[in-house]
C-alpha cells in the first residue's frame, strides 16, 4: 500500500492578534463539544475530554497557556492526527481509542526527538469519534485527534524558550519529518494491534475491490440523465467496504479536481455479506433487463424493491451488528 495513505497529520497555526485569539477560543470550544460539524459528543460527568500534557485540560486553561507561551508570530499550532479508517477497521472496536491516543503521543514524541528538541514540548489533545464522509465508504468509524501546541518550545542549548516553527525548505523540512514520524509510528503500532500481516490484508482488500470494479469493462447497465441533458453511463455492482462487509450499488464516472475522469462507487445498501451482495447485484441486473427503461432511478428502485420483497432465490442478508461510536472517555 501507499504508506502516505496510512495516516494524515496536518498543521495549522494562529497569530497572536485579538481576532485570532477569539478564533482560537472558538476552535477550542468546538473541539471540546463537537466530534464534527454534525455530531456532538457524549458528555460524561466528572470526566474531562482533553488529555493534558502541559497545555491544560479545559478551554480556559489551554487558552491561557497558549497566550503565555506564544511567540512573536504564533499564538498556537493545531495538529490533526487522522489514521485511515480502512486500517482502523482492522482494529477491534474497543481498542481503537487507545490506539489513536497512543499513536498521537508517540508521533509527537518521535517528531520532537527527530527535530533535536529532546525536552519535547507541552501539548494537549482531544480524541474525536466521527463517521467518515468518503462517498465510496460512508459511515466508517473515523477516530482521530486534535492536538494543541504552543508557539514556543524550551531549548536546553539556549537556556530559554525559543520560537516553535514548522519549516519547509531545502535545509530542513519539518512537515516531511512529521509525516515520516507519523507513518513509522502507524506502521509499528499496526504490527502490534492488528498483526504483522496487516499490509498484506490491506493489499488483498484493495485487489478484491479492483476485481469488483472490473464490471466497468462490460457494457453499461444504464444511464443517468443529468439536468443539462448529458447521459452518464453506470454499472451496477458491489464493493467490499471492509474485511467483513460488502455493499451493493453502482459505478459512475466523475470529474476530479484536476479535470481527469475517474470512476467511483456509490453504495445503495451496505453491511451485507459478500456472497449475498453479489447475488443481489446479479438479480438487480436481471430484473432491469425486463424493462426498456434503464435509467439510474430504475436501478435504485429495483434494489429497494428486491431488498424489501426478499425475492425468491435470494437469501436475506446476514444482519450486521452495529457498533456505537460513543465511547466513555
pLDDT in tens, 74-107: 999 999 999 999 999 999 999 999 999 999 999 9
According to the model, what pLDDT value does residue 33 have?
Answer: 84
Strand pairing category for 141-150 and 152-155:
unpaired
Residue 319 has pLDDT above 70, yes or no: no
Instruction: Give CA angle at 143 (69, 7), nearest 5°.
Output: 75
Residue 162 has pLDDT above 60, yes or no: yes
Instruction: Write out pLDDT tens, residues 17-26.
Output: 999 999 999 9
According to the model, what pLDDT value does residue 10 have?
Answer: 86
Sign of CA dihedral 91, 93, 99, 104: positive
Q: CA 147, CA 247: separation in Å to the nearest integer?
A: 35
Averaged pLDDT for residues 11-39: 85
Query: Which residue, among 183, 10, 164, has the nearest Cα to 103 in the 3D structure?
Result: 183
Contact yes or no for 255/328 (Cβ under 8 A): no
According to the model, what pLDDT value does residue 172 have?
Answer: 81
Contact yes or no for 263/227 (Cβ under 8 A): no
Higher pLDDT, 27 or 289: 27
First to last CA, the chain: 32
The length of the chain is 329
According to the model, what pLDDT value does residue 325 have?
Answer: 34
Higher pLDDT, 85 or 118: 85
According to the model, what pLDDT value does residue 315 have?
Answer: 54
Residue 14 has pLDDT above 80, yes or no: yes
Contact yes or no for 197/188 (Cβ under 8 A): no
According to the model, what pLDDT value does residue 40 have?
Answer: 53
Instruction: Write out pLDDT tens, residues 253-272.
Output: 988 777 788 899 999 999 99
Q: In the chain, where does the domain assigned CATH 3.30.930 lie? A: 3-196
- pLDDT band for position 71 (50/70/90)? very high
Percent of the chain predicted with pLDDT > 90: 60
Residue 312 has pLDDT above 60, yes or no: no
According to the model, what pLDDT value does residue 49 have?
Answer: 85
Strand pairing category for 141-150 and 123-131:
antiparallel
Which CATH fold topology does 3-196 show? BirA Bifunctional Protein; domain 2 (3.30.930)
Contact yes or no for 167/104 (Cβ under 8 A): no
Instruction: Give the rounded distance of the alpha carbon of 97 from its chain centre.
Output: 14
In the chain the beta strands, taken as DSSP E runs, fall at 7-14, 51-53, 76-83, 123-131, 141-150, 152-155, 160-163, 222-225, 231-240, 246-255, 261-272
Instruction: Write out pLDDT tens, residues 187-201.
Output: 999 999 999 999 999
**Residue 55 φ/ψ region, left for φ over 0, alpha for ψ in the -120 to 50 degree band, beta for the rest:** alpha
Least confident segment among 22-36, 39-53, 63-77, 147-161: 39-53
Task: State how far the alpha carbon of 49 is from the alpha carbons of 58, 145, 227, 232, in Å.
Answer: 8, 11, 47, 47
Q: CA 82, CA 77: separation in Å to the nearest integer?
A: 16
According to the model, what pLDDT value does residue 35 have?
Answer: 63
Highest mean pLDDT among 1-15, 60-74, 105-119, 131-145: 60-74
Q: What count of other Cβ atoms lies within 10 Å of the Cβ of residue 197?
A: 10
**pTM metric for this prediction:** 0.84
According to the model, what pLDDT value does residue 187 have?
Answer: 96
According to the model, what pLDDT value does residue 311 have?
Answer: 45
**Residue 271 φ/ψ region, left for φ over 0, alpha for ψ in the -120 to 50 degree band, beta for the rest:** left
Q: CA 206, CA 144: separation in Å to the nearest integer?
A: 23
Decide: residue 17, CB within 10 A, 0-12 exposed, 13-18 middle, 19+ buried. exposed
Averaged pLDDT for residues 21-37: 84
Q: What is the mean pLDDT of the chain?
A: 86
Q: CA 277, CA 316: separation in Å to the nearest integer?
A: 10
According to the model, what pLDDT value does residue 227 have?
Answer: 81
Contact yes or no for 123/166 (Cβ under 8 A): no
According to the model, what pLDDT value does residue 169 have?
Answer: 75
Averaged pLDDT for residues 296-314: 78
Amino acid at each position: 500500500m501507499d504508506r502516505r495513505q496510512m495516516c494524515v497529520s496536518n498543521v495549522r497555526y494562529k497569530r497572536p492578534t485579538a481576532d485570532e485569539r477569539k478564533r482560537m477560543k472558538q476552535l477550542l470550544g468546538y473541539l471540546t463539544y463537537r466530534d464534527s460539524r454534525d455530531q456532538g459528543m457524549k458528555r460524561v460527568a466528572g470526566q474531562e475530554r482533553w488529555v493534558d500534557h502541559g497545555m491544560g485540560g479545559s478551554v480556559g486553561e489551554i487558552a491561557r497557556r497558549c497566550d503565555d507561551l506564544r511567540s512573536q508570530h504564533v499564538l498556537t499550532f493545531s495538529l490533526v492526527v487522522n489514521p485511515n479508517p480502512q486500517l482502523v477497521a482492522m482494529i477491534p472496536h474497543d481498542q481503537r481509542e487507545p490506539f489513536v491516543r497512543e499513536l498521537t503521543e508517540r508521533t509527537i514524541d518521535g517528531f520532537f526527538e527527530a527535530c533535536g528538541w529532546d525536552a519535547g514540548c507541552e501539548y494537549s489533545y482531544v480524541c474525536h469519534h466521527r463517521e467518515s464522509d468518503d462517498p465510496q465508504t460512508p459511515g466508517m468509524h473515523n477516530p482521530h485527534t486534535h492536538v494543541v501546541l504552543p508557539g514556543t518550545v524550551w531549548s536546553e542549548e539556549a537556556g530559554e524558550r525559543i520560537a516553535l516553527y514548522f519549516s519547509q525548505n531545502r535545509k530542513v523540512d519539518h512537515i516531511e519529518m512529521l509525516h515520516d514520524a507519523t507513518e513509522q509510528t502507524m506502521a509499528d503500532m499496526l504490527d502490534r494491534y492488528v498483526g504483522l500481516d496487516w499490509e498484506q490484508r490491506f493489499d488483498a482488500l484493495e485487489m478484491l475491490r479492483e476485481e469488483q470494479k472490473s464490471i466497468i469493462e462490460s457494457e453499461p447497465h444504464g444511464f443517468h440523465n443529468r439536468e443539462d441533458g448529458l447521459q452518464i453511463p453506470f454499472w451496477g455492482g458491489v464493493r467490499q467496504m471492509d474485511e467483513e462487509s460488502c455493499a451493493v450499488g453502482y459505478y459512475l464516472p466523475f470529474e476530479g479536481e484536476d479535470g481527469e475522469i475517474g470512476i467511483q462507487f456509490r453504495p445503495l445498501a451496505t453491511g451485507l455479506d459478500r456472497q449475498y451482495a453479489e447475488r443481489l447485484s446479479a438479480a438487480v441486473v436481471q430484473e432491469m433487463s425486463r424493462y426498456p427503461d434503464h435509467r439510474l432511478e430504475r436501478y435504485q428502485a429495483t434494489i429497494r424493491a428486491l431488498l424489501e420483497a426478499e425475492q425468491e432465490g435470494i437469501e436475506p442478508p446476514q444482519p450486521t451488528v452495529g457498533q456505537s461510536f460513543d465511547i466513555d472517555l
